Amino acid sequence: MVTMDLPTAVKSYQFGERAKSELIMIAQLCLALTGFSEQERPGGRRMLLMMMEFTRSEIQFAVQSTGKTEFQKAINSLNEAISLVESNQPEQASQKVAAAISASTTPAQEAWQVLSGHGLL
C-alpha cells in the first residue's frame, strides 16, 4: 500500500504525467534526428537539446515540489541522454530517455493509487 498525502499525490500525478508526455516526445525526436540530412542535423540537435533542458528543469521542479527520488532518477537518465545527443548519438540517447520515462511514471502510478483510493480519479 502506497502512503502519500493528498497534496503530494496530486503534485506527483501531475508532474509524472507531464514529464512522461514530454519525455515520450523527446524520445521520438531523438529517433527522428537520425533521419535528418547532414545540413539539418546541427539545427535539429540544438532544438532537441533545448527541449531536453527545458524538460530537465520541469522535472527538477517536480523533485523540489514532491521530494520523490524517482524524479531525480529521471533527471539522471535525461542528463545521460543529453550527453549522448551532444556526442551525436541520438539512438543511444533514446534508450536513456526510456529509462527517464520509466522513472517518472513510478510516482504518477503511486499517486494514481492514492487518488483513486480517495475517489478522486
| pLDDT string in tens for the chain (121-residue length) | 678 889 999 999 999 999 999 999 999 999 999 999 999 999 999 999 999 999 999 999 999 999 999 999 999 999 999 999 999 999 999 999 999 999 999 999 999 999 999 888 7
Q: What's the structural domain count of the chain?
A: 1
Report if residue 16 sits inside a domain: yes
Q: Distance (Å, rounded) from C-alpha 92 to C-alpha 30?
A: 9
**Domain extent at residue 76:** 6-117
**What pLDDT shows up at residue 21?**
97
- pLDDT value at position 1? 63
What is the rounded CA–CA span in Å between residue 104 and residue 39?
34
Q: Does residue 47 form part of some domain?
A: yes
**pTM for the structure as a whole:** 0.92
CA separation (Å) from 57 to 5, 85, 119? Answer: 24, 17, 31
- Residue 48 C-alpha cell reads as 532537441
CA-based max dimension of the chain: 54
Can you read off the three cell numbers belonging to residue 60? 527538477
CATH number at residue 100: 1.20.120
pLDDT value at residue 25: 97
Is residue 1 domain-resident?
Answer: no
Examine residue 82 and state whether it is found in any structural domain, yes or no: yes
